[in-house]
Structure 1
């Protein structure tokens, strides 16, 4: 009853304030009119200025907000940073003229808005939305590339030279990078953070990026050749706002996305995967190598094995059907790789052109289901255009008909599809461990980069980084083994692909091998503990009654990481620790080395080596 009364009071309060300014249910976030745009305030201080709204050809008058009700989100996720998601927002609407209405939702952890067009004829007009990020403001931005594989370096200026030779780089006459990908992290005030992204891409929409224009970042949708007639709305523009707890724990991207469209989801099972590629920098056309990875998965009690590219060109007269049958005979569910055949085609690995036409896609996925394939990894898309977005939706829907899990690679970042299509287990869109195969620069920058990802890319959705490499691939890694192990907990992905070769995992101590077999990829709760982008990060994730607390040091110096355990319930708990003994080894605490009893939650600090880390398991 008290809860209901509080909700009514908040609702009435919002109505009374709507004539002045929109406000979030908890009152922390408010929107003020600012000329033809708006300013978003957090705790009465400006967090984001959006001076330009709407579309070309429009002249916004004074914005008059109408409170249209409270929007409540309450839903279950198969995987993600939490299984039960709840949120609420006050929703407002205003006319921008020319048949365009803006819908604005103020949540307790951020803001989402979209445009609703009442009468579109032909192609969409050009969007004008722009975010103003003043020079001197700390920001972590990734220069745009169609695969979203890049670093998030700290900067206080928008005048940044491009990094490397990434596809899609757009430069100013002065040589500065102009095109940026989502998400973008900003610290507008000390200790206050904001993550810019978007959500809920539909068939007639393209995804967007950001273009630098002075101190403005202009939201720029990719190519959309669809000729429309009648009503249309944009994706949600999203700004998650608050302290780091708010950002790490936010589900705002899925809160504003469409509800699950699948009637039966009982067959969708997340899990850990052995992955055939990283150690050899090659596909999966060798039956004997496939067997090694299947056997490793069986030994470690991993549910899945991923058979990567070139399985259609198997050597020595063997076939993919034989490989799939062998995996299933060992109790390991196989997944197989496909080329999307819309991005990298010439010179790219096979199989190609099997999924592009609806009839071919249906035939291929039916065959996968028949021979016992559990899922598909689809690779090499070509950016954010409407064609690719619709293609991804078609793939997800067709795969679901045949009970196939989906992992997108070489593709844009998640924008809420993981709620709408829960068979989407993971998405690459990240500069991950695969790059030890490709460039020497990853070696020296990986540790710092790894500490930015929990604050940027992984906040918005699952991230297939392919973590935990104890050995070296084409280029060496200089992170400690404990750092590598910690990535399997720090990085949320419903399918957690282990990068390294069987020999590396099977020589580890039994406690480490047991860790992989027991590692959850579904989390009931996620908490920020400590850290700062590029320096260090400690997160805690709960599965049932077990907490996994992981931390990494992103610096080249020894560092003590703060670990506050006050969020853990009282009672007796056994504790297991994997930590740095030196940069390449584990130090294993005994199972009962620490005992936490009845509220004696003593804040702890854990020492790490340069580029080191730890995993703490509290049962």
Structure 2
């Protein structure tokens, strides 16, 4: 028996070595890669989930792929902000030569695959990338029609033949009128219960970000404009496919796993937190010193660390200046952030201040002034897309801001692609169709609840998302989500700067338990778990900060819905629980304004019934 066991173990070891040497495989063995005629296929638990029939670059002929294992990656790293504080970076890396001038580097993780190209012998502009993903008709997908601000819906479809909708109607179309250009990330369900999120990561100075173009059943990876002439070597960003169960996708840190480690020597000054924000309720409020004071005072009452002073602060009325407003905030113990126009996107007719950051010497002067007067961070808005010029500009802004201890929030900008690891002073990015759109279009009112349930499965997986959640009153157009739905968004949506956009009197009219919730709300998490839900219908997530779990769920439908809440992963026999839920769309149902509900044994709820477009939050200690 002992001899047979030894032989069996030896055989298993030989099988593992053989697999490692001959076929790309993930550390847990669930993901494998096989060669196809001119590309590769990715298999999950021995079933194909992704076909990449075309690889390489135009004008460079590929040879047959022969995989060579390079090394096993096994390194944990810490994130100052995000869905997880300690990230496990574990992968098997392989290299295959496509040509004497071109090789493919492939990393297989337990939750997905990432690859990039390494070119040599360049002498001029980059050739055109040929990478294409095949998504057959009939496959469920949630895709964003591309726009330079990445502000749009992720409707579910089983076809790539979709006509542009709403504000997207002027985008790139086929002769038949179908939308052709799509933004990252794209969510696909290639098999029932198996999901795949396509995106990219680790954009560097000499690179443009990419999008996807429809070509029949193919989605072609298409980098934006890059005017640099290259000599010698260059590598592409990482092409990323997060693959597995919905839990795998929600928990994944693959975008930051393949991104450059932190480049800042000192990060002690970087503090995430909740922000009071003026724009949503008062479009031009940041040029009014008295309105700014209201939001500073609200931050004091709710115990928020930050206030954001938005556009037009350089046109302050009544003889006041931005320095007066910044001084008032600092005197009250609130850290002020201020807004800038990037001046590369929307310029004519756009709000000010403009052209203060474009030149290196002007940017240095402006950020030094911010640091001197006590500004804690900057919100920079209205970029113009994914071109190499804009990507380099963003990196310049992040590095200069870090030099002067300024936090950064990019708005009207591309989606996160890993900079949050490399430059942890980047605490949030818009790149989302968020609550700001209640200011702009009536269509958001009816669409918001369903849209809100797609974002945790799509946009927010790849990085921080400044949706500006939780508004109880109405802006230009009303919302029809419940108060508990709105409160739940502050937990469901990961953003290290979480902006509260409603009027001070709206927040201060809430029960004391709700006001206390804002002052205690973490904006960065030690652990994140998927509990239940499906894009466009509902979502329940659990996030842990220290020894406290925040569990949030929302109903994206127009009918009452019971949400599954299996919290068996929360260990311990005694819990203190506070509940914020729907009594009806305009009232709160709370478990005590002062006291926590004490549970013994395994008495955490397994199901919670929500109102139409409703929601809930559980705070569990």
Greater mean alpha carbon deviation, residues 20-29 or residues 45-54: 20-29
SS across alignment from 1:607: strand
Cα distance between partner residues in 1 of 2:560 and 2:435:
23
Residue aligning to 2:323: 321
SS across alignment from 2:75: strand
Residue aligning to 1:75: 77
Cα distance between partner residues in 1 of 2:150 and 2:15:
42
Cα distance between partner residues in 1 of 2:611 and 2:12:
49
Q: 579, 598, 610: which one pairs with 1:595?
A: 598
Q: How does 1:244-283 map to 2 (within 5 A)?
A: 244-283=246-285
SS across alignment from 1:508: coil
SS across alignment from 1:165: helix
Residue aligning to 2:190: 188
Cα distance between partner residues in 1 of 2:88 and 2:223:
29
Does the CA contact (< 8 Å) of 2:77 and 2:89 recur in 1?
Answer: no
Does the CA contact (< 8 Å) of 2:539 and 2:553 recur in 1?
Answer: yes
Q: 2:62 aligned with 1:48, yes or no?
A: no
Residue aligning to 1:101: 103
Alignment gaps of 5+ in structure 1: 1-7
Cα distance between partner residues in 2 of 1:432 and 1:470:
15
Residue aligning to 1:4: none
Deviation for aligned residue 1:592: 6.0
Deviation for aligned residue 1:58: 2.3
Does the CA contact (< 8 Å) of 1:568 and 1:601 recur in 2?
Answer: no
Does the CA contact (< 8 Å) of 1:15 and 1:67 recur in 2?
Answer: no
CA 1:285/1:12 → structure 2, altered by over 3 Å: closer, same or farther?
A: farther
Kindly provide the CA deviation profile for residues 54-105 of structure 1, in whole angstroms up to 9, marking residues without a partner as x: 0001222221000111012310000000110013111100001140000000
Residue aligning to 1:458: 460
Cα distance between partner residues in 1 of 2:16 and 2:426:
37
Does the CA contact (< 8 Å) of 1:274 and 1:293 recur in 2?
Answer: yes
State the aligned residue count. Answer: 611
Cα distance between partner residues in 2 of 1:524 and 1:194:
24
Residue aligning to 2:64: 62
Q: 2:251 aligned with 1:217, yes or no?
A: no
Q: 2:575 aligned with 1:554, yes or no?
A: no
Cα distance between partner residues in 2 of 1:263 and 1:549:
35
SS across alignment from 1:567: coil
Q: How does 1:415-564 map to 2 (within 5 A)?
A: 415-564=417-566
Residue aligning to 1:199: 201
Residue aligning to 1:113: 115
Residue aligning to 1:140: 142
SS across alignment from 2:277: strand
Residue aligning to 1:3: none
CA 1:392/1:170 → structure 2, altered by over 3 Å: closer, same or farther?
A: same
Cα distance between partner residues in 1 of 2:23 and 2:327:
62
SS across alignment from 2:325: helix
Cα distance between partner residues in 1 of 2:12 and 2:409:
41
Residue aligning to 1:371: 373
Deviation for aligned residue 1:165: 2.7
SS across alignment from 1:464: coil
Kindly provide the CA deviation profile for residues 536-579 of structure 1, in whole angstroms up to 9, marking residues without a partner as x: 00000000000000000000000001101101011321100000
Cα distance between partner residues in 2 of 1:437 and 1:10:
62
Cα distance between partner residues in 2 of 1:28 and 1:596:
39
SS across alignment from 1:292: helix
Residue aligning to 2:92: 90
Does the CA contact (< 8 Å) of 1:138 and 1:155 recur in 2?
Answer: yes
Does the CA contact (< 8 Å) of 2:285 and 2:291 recur in 1?
Answer: no
SS across alignment from 1:284: helix
Residue aligning to 1:5: none
Give the TM-score normalised by structure 1: 0.97
SS across alignment from 2:168: coil
Greater mean alpha carbon deviation, residues 501-510 or residues 277-286: 277-286
SS across alignment from 1:289: helix
SS across alignment from 1:573: strand
Cα distance between partner residues in 2 of 1:169 and 1:70:
43
Residue aligning to 1:158: 160
Q: 600, 616, 620: which one pairs with 1:618?
A: 620
Deviation for aligned residue 1:15: 4.1
Residue aligning to 1:285: 287
Cα distance between partner residues in 2 of 1:52 and 1:14:
29
Q: 2:399 aligned with 1:383, yes or no?
A: no
Does the CA contact (< 8 Å) of 1:271 and 1:494 recur in 2?
Answer: yes
Residue aligning to 1:335: 337
Does the CA contact (< 8 Å) of 1:66 and 1:93 recur in 2?
Answer: yes
Does the CA contact (< 8 Å) of 1:146 and 1:167 recur in 2?
Answer: no
Does the CA contact (< 8 Å) of 1:444 and 1:478 recur in 2?
Answer: yes
Residue aligning to 1:580: 582
SS across alignment from 1:305: strand
Does the CA contact (< 8 Å) of 2:50 and 2:134 recur in 1?
Answer: yes
Does the CA contact (< 8 Å) of 2:286 and 2:310 recur in 1?
Answer: yes
Cα distance between partner residues in 2 of 1:12 and 1:116:
32
Q: 351, 354, 357: which one pairs with 1:352?
A: 354
Residue aligning to 1:604: 606
Give the TM-score normalised by structure 2: 0.97
Cα distance between partner residues in 1 of 2:470 and 2:186:
26
Question: What is the root-mean-square deviation of aligned Cα atoms in Å?
Answer: 1.5
Cα distance between partner residues in 2 of 1:585 and 1:60:
63
Does the CA contact (< 8 Å) of 1:149 and 1:429 recur in 2?
Answer: yes
CA 1:370/1:39 → structure 2, altered by over 3 Å: closer, same or farther?
A: same
SS across alignment from 2:286: coil
Does the CA contact (< 8 Å) of 1:566 and 1:603 recur in 2?
Answer: no
Cα distance between partner residues in 2 of 1:354 and 1:593:
50
Deviation for aligned residue 1:163: 1.2
Deviation for aligned residue 1:583: 1.1
